[in-house]
């Protein structure tokens, strides 16, 4: 190689949708037009994680971190940075020229992060296998094939202490070991890439940014348990990730890293992609296997577990994308080395999709044991728009809320469970004081109600009943008895449902009732929504002392509910008001309040 | 009688998958990407070609959200109502589309140009609220931007 500069353009879905592809092409064109095509290499990488500031362009070796770049900035990046060696200050994240030794890691967003799973995202070109290999790719596979027995591999996994990142946190080595010991000459390896939690996208970013790590890991597992076929079950809604996987699989076959007689070791292994079709329940392992077999994705009672009877009745290992992405690191560097990071209960790191009302949303990878306060306030920069922190939902529709009092709890599998939430796949949704907690619970129950497969009645009927009760409360018809009934149904669902979807669906209700009883009470007793979100329970009012009678609101009101003379305070006809909030957005004098 | 509803490409894809276990969902994906939805005629044809009962096909198609039973518009609009988008006002986009185009969720405009779907998370939560039109993603959408975005498609 011998390029003076390497320009890394983020090719994750977030940045791609903000014209990153055009930026990539324009940079190549500009480099050619300005005669430096032989001095720079433009590379499209996976996600940098700092989606809030996208599209992101990083230029090496100076490590300059450019944010919110537009295609028309390409000319200047080439003429200033590449040719004249001067950073384009206005596009830098800090807007000031960097000191010579300053690193990207000095940006607060990255300071407390530790990238193991996302080690290659934003570093390599995911569509070029040579880039992966240059970053220690397939080293672990070589080691597993030539230096280790199946038991050695499983023992290394045991030393690492890795627990499944899909939600339940089952020790990965045990799954592998059960499957290895299960009788049968045909066994399968499955990657669960059906990321269904609405508000989580770490698996998508991993596949888009580093597809080979998953292929390598699945092949290692195949060697460990004696399987020769793997399946990646991925959401059809992730076209870019599917494309990059297909490219990666093709390149791996060309290099003899997939297929017959891998690297001359005599071991045969191949992987196929199977598409999901938008069913949350297919994240449950038995339902997922049903779906790969081409059926409706309905869970089966366990036992038998997939480790003994899985895909087409054969012993099967299922792990999710993030779990797989850890495996090559464990095998290459050793399980004991991996286990140095994290807590006693949970080793390694965890990727979270930090979103909602936080200043810096994006993908965040931190050591297990980091506190929520560090993630939300140090990495996330706190709450956007100067509002007040209210809660964080972890674990998606299966998890619960975490409030101010528990912000200092170290995050690991056990820690989150003790405060009534769960790890889940890693969605982390931040809420501020304008979010109504009952409405959020209702949102999740609407989701699980829609996604229930309908097979067992506690989930099918219970979910709908919970939703109906929450709906009743948010429109002001709730009673004290409804609170008791919510709890009774929730407990019945936890005990009686067939799979984890139904068993965990009541969690958002129970946890919000536990931490925000006063907010439920306000809806029921006072018929008020303290957050001002539930439309039936709020009134828009005009403060006569602030209203100057500019008529802006009355002109914008879609139903003509606002009246008043010019230069005199206006008023709202409550029976006509549809509570759309346009008046409040329009008023420049903060004269319109929500009651 | 219905030989001509599938292209040769699609027919050879089906032929390739015919004997593989678990082929039905993969074939239905390919059918939908070619004709936009799973029509009754298409389901009949898949049933004949794969030798799978129509009831099984219908069971699968209705179970999964991704498969559509009605013809989409020239441009299919997806509004994300995942958690992050919901908190940041994704339902505002749905309301605005109804106001501007009379478009309801799962509906179609009279001119057949736009159809609307509410979806759960398109995986770019950092850009919430998000809508996609014909596969192009629009992030941090505000009410004022929507007419301009729609004008780009005609």
What pLDDT, in 10s, does the model give residues A366-403? 999 999 999 999 999 999 888 999 999 999 999 999 99
Considering the entire predicted model, what is its pTM? Answer: 0.91
Could you say which of B21, B84, B137 has the minimum Cβ distance to residue A17?
B137
Name residue A191's beta-bridge partners: A232, A319
Q: What is the residue range of A359's domain?
A: 349-432
Confidence (pLDDT) at A99: 65
| CATH assignment at residue A405 | 3.10.20.600
Strands A316-320 and A349-356, by their bridges, are: unpaired
Backbone φ and ψ for A4, nearest 5 degrees, come out as: -75, -40
Q: How far is CA A232 from the centre of its chain?
A: 18
Same domain, A303 and A369: no
Based on the domain organization, do A220 and A315 belong to the same domain? yes
Do A296 and A174 fall into the same domain? yes
Q: For chain A, say whether B125 makes contact (Cβ under 8 Å).
A: yes
Residue ending a domain, among A432, A448, A476, is A432
Rounded Cα gap, residues A86 and A68, in angstroms: 19
In a domain, A529, yes or no: no
Burial of A393 (0-12, 13-18, 19+ CB in 10 A): buried
Q: What is the pLDDT of residues A319-344, one digit of tens each?
A: 999 999 999 999 999 999 999 999 99
What pLDDT, on a 0 to 100 scale, did the predictor assign at position B1? 45
Tell me: do A450 and A549 sit in the same domain: no
Residue of B122, B125, B128 lying closest to B141 (CA atoms): B128
CATH code, A553: 3.30.70.20
- Confidence tier at A43 by pLDDT (50, 70, 90): very high
The tokens describing A417, both together, are 């469970």
Which chain B residue has its CA at the smallest distance from A16's CA?
B137
ipTM value greater than 0.90: no
Find the closest chain A residue to B30 by CA distance: A275
Q: Indicate if A206 and A269 belong to the same structural domain.
A: yes
Q: Do B137 and A16 touch (CB under 8 A)?
A: yes
User: Cβ(A206)–Cβ(A121) under 8 Å?
Assistant: yes
Tell me how far apart the alpha carbons of residues A137 and A20 are, in angstroms, rounded to a whole number: 26
Does residue A205 have a pLDDT over 80? yes
Residues A579 and A465 in one domain: no
| Interface contact flag, B123 A357, Cβ < 8 Å | no
**CB environment B37-53: b (16+ within 10 A), e (fewer):** bbbeebbebbbebbebe
Residue A492 included in any domain:
yes
With contacts defined as CB-CB under 8 Å, which chain A residues touch B137?
13, 16-17
CA A534/CA B18 separation, integer angstroms = 52
The pLDDT score that the predictor gives to residue A101 is: 57
CATH number at residue A200: 3.40.50.11540
One domain, residues A329 and A219: yes
Chain A CA closest to residue B33? A236
State whether A176 and A307 are in the same domain: yes
In a domain, A172, yes or no: yes
- Asked if A231 contacts A272 with a C-beta cutoff of 8 angstroms, the reply is yes
Q: How far is B83 from chain A (nearest CA, A)?
A: 5
Tell whether A153 and A300 lie within a shared domain: yes
Confirm whether A530 is domain-assigned.
no
For β-strands A349-356 and A362-367, DSSP reports them as antiparallel
Residue A371 lies in a domain: yes
Question: Cα separation of A249 and A237, whole Å?
Answer: 20
Q: What distance in Å separates the CA atoms of residue A21 and residue A11, rounded to the nearest whole number?
A: 7
In the predicted structure, residue A197 carries a pLDDT above the cut 90: no
Predicted confidence at residue A237, as pLDDT, reads 85
Select the residue from A54, A121, A199 to test the B interface by mutation, using most B Cβ atoms within 10 A.
A199
Cβ neighbors of A116 (< 8 A, separation 6 or more) are A326, A329, A338, A341, A348, A349, A365
Looking at A432, A465, A490, the residue that finishes a domain is: A432
DSSP state of A80: I
A495-547 pLDDT per residue, tens: 999 999 999 999 999 999 999 999 999 999 999 999 988 989 999 999 999 99
Write out pLDDT tens, residues A405-454: 999 999 999 999 999 888 888 999 999 999 999 999 999 999 999 999 99
Residues A177 and A287 in one domain: yes
Is position A117 within any domain? no
In this complex, the residue of A17, A393, A427 whose CB is nearest that of residue B139 is A17
Query: Does residue A534 lie in a domain region?
Result: no
- List residues bridging with A59 in a β-sheet: A7, A64
Facing residue for A293 by CB, picked from B22, B65, B135: B22
Least reliable range by pLDDT among A44-53, A221-230, A247-256, B43-52: A44-53
DSSP three-state, residue A93: coil
- In sequence order, the β-bridge partners of residue B131 are B79, B138
By residue count, chain B amounts to: 154
Q: What pLDDT, on the 0 to 100 scale, is given for residue A100?
A: 60
The answer to whether the bond into A303 is cis (omega within 30° of 0) is yes
Residue among A51, A278, A447 minimizing CB distance to B64: A278
* Distance linking the first and last C-alpha atoms of chain B: 35
**Is residue B67 within 8 Å of residue A277, measured between CB atoms?**
yes
* A482 in any annotated domain: yes
**CB contact, 8 Å: B124 with chain A?**
yes
- Average pLDDT value for residue range B90-98: 92
Which residue of chain B has the CA closest to A312? B21
* pLDDT tops 70 at residue A98: no
* Number of domains composing chain A: 5
A103 and A239, same domain (yes or no) = no
> Chain A residue with minimal CA distance to B85?
A356
Structure tokens at B13: 């894809």
CATH number at residue A501: 1.20.1440.230
Residue ending a domain, among A294, A316, A338, is: A338
The helix (run of H) or strand (run of E) holding residue B27 is helix B24-35
Residue A403 β-bridge partners: A391
- Are both A423 and A547 inside the same structural domain? no
> Do the beta carbons of residue A275 and residue A242 sit within 8 Å?
yes
């Amino acid at each position: 190689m011998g390029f003076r500069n390497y320009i890394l353009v983020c090719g994750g879905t977030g940045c791609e949708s903000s014209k990153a592809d055009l930026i990539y092409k324009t940079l190549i064109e500009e480099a050619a037009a300005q005669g430096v095509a032989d001095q720079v290499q433009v590379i499209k990488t996976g996600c940098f994680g700092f989606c809030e500031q996208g599209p992101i362009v990083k230029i090496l070796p100076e490590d300059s971190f450019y944010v919110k770049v537009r295609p028309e900035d390409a000319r200047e990046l080439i003429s200033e940075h590449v040719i004249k060696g001067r950073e384009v200050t206005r596009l830098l994240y800090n807007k000031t020229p960097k000191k010579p030794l300053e690193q990207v890691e000095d940006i607060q967003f990255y300071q407390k992060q530790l990238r193991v799973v996302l080690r290659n995202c934003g570093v390599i070109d995911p569509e070029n296998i040579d880039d992966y290999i240059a970053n220690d790719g397939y080293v672990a596979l070589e080691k597993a094939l030539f230096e280790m027995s199946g038991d050695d591999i499983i023992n290394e996994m045991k030393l690492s202490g890795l627990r499944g990142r899909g939600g339940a946190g089952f020790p990965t080595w045990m799954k592998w070991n059960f499957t290895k010991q299960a009788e049968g000459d045909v066994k399968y390896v499955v990657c669960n890439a059906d990321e269904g939690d609405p508000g989580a996208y770490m698996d998508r970013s991993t596949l888009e940014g580093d597809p080979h790590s998953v292929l390598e890991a699945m092949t290692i597992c195949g060697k460990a348990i004696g399987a020769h076929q793997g399946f990646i079950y991925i959401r059809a809604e992730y076209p870019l990730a599917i494309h990059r996987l297909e490219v990666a699989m093709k390149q791996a076959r060309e290099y003899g890293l997939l297929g017959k007689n891998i690297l001359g070791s005599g071991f045969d292994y191949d992987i196929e992609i199977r598409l999901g079709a938008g069913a949350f329940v297919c994240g449950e392992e038995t339902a997922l296997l049903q779906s790969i077999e081409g059926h409706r994705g309905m869970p089966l009672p366990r036992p038998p577990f997939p480790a003994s009877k899985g895909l087409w009745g054969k012993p099967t290992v299922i792990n999710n994308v993030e779990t797989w992405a850890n495996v090559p690191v464990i095998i290459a560097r050793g399980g004991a080395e991996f286990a140095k990071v994290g807590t006693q209960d949970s080793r390694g790191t965890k990727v979270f999709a930090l979103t909602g009302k936080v200043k810096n949303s994006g993908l965040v990878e931190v050591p297990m044991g980091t506190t929520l306060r560090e993630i939300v306030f140090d990495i996330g920069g706190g709450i956007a728009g100067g509002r007040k922190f209210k809660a964080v939902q972890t674990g998606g529709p299966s998890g619960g809320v975490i409030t101010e009092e528990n912000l200092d709890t170290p995050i690991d599998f056990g820690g989150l469970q003790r405060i009534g939430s769960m790890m889940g796949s890693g969605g982390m949704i931040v809420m501020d004081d304008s979010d109504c907690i009952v409405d959020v619970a209702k949102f999740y129950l609407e989701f699980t109600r829609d996604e229930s497969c309908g097979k067992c009645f506690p989930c099918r009927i219970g979910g709908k009943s919970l939703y109906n009760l929450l709906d009743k409360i948010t429109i002001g018809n709730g009673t004290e008895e409804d609170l008791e009934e919510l709890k009774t149904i929730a407990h019945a669902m936890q005990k009686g449902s067939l799979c984890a979807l139904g068993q965990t669906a009541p969690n958002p209700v129970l946890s919000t009732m536990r931490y925000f009883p006063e907010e439920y009470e306000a809806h029921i007793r006072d018929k008020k929504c303290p957050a001002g979100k539930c439309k039936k329970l709020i009134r828009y009012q005009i403060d006569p002392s602030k209203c100057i009678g500019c008529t802006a609101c009355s002109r914008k009101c879609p139903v003509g509910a606002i009246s008043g003379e010019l230069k005199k305070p206006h008023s709202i006809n409550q029976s006509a008001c549809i509570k759309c909030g346009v008046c409040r957005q329009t008023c420049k004098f903060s004269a319109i309040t929500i009651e | 009688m219905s030989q001509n509803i599938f292209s040769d490409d699609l027919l050879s894809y089906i032929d390739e998958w015919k004997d593989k276990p678990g082929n039905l969902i993969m074939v239905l994906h390919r059918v939908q990407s070619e004709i936009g939805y799973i029509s009754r005629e298409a389901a009949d044809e898949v049933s004949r070609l794969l030798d799978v009962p129509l009831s099984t096909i219908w069971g699968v198609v209705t179970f999964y959200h991704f498969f559509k039973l009605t013809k989409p518009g020239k441009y299919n609009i997806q509004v994300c109502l995942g958690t992050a988008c919901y908190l940041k006002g994704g339902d505002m986009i749905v309301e605005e589309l109804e106001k501007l185009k009379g478009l309801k969720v799962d509906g179609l405009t009279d001119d057949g140009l736009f159809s609307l779907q509410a979806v759960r998370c398109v995986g770019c939560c950092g850009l919430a609220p998000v809508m996609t039109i014909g596969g192009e993603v629009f992030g941090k959408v505000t009410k004022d931007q929507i007419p301009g975005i729609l004008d780009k498609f005609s």
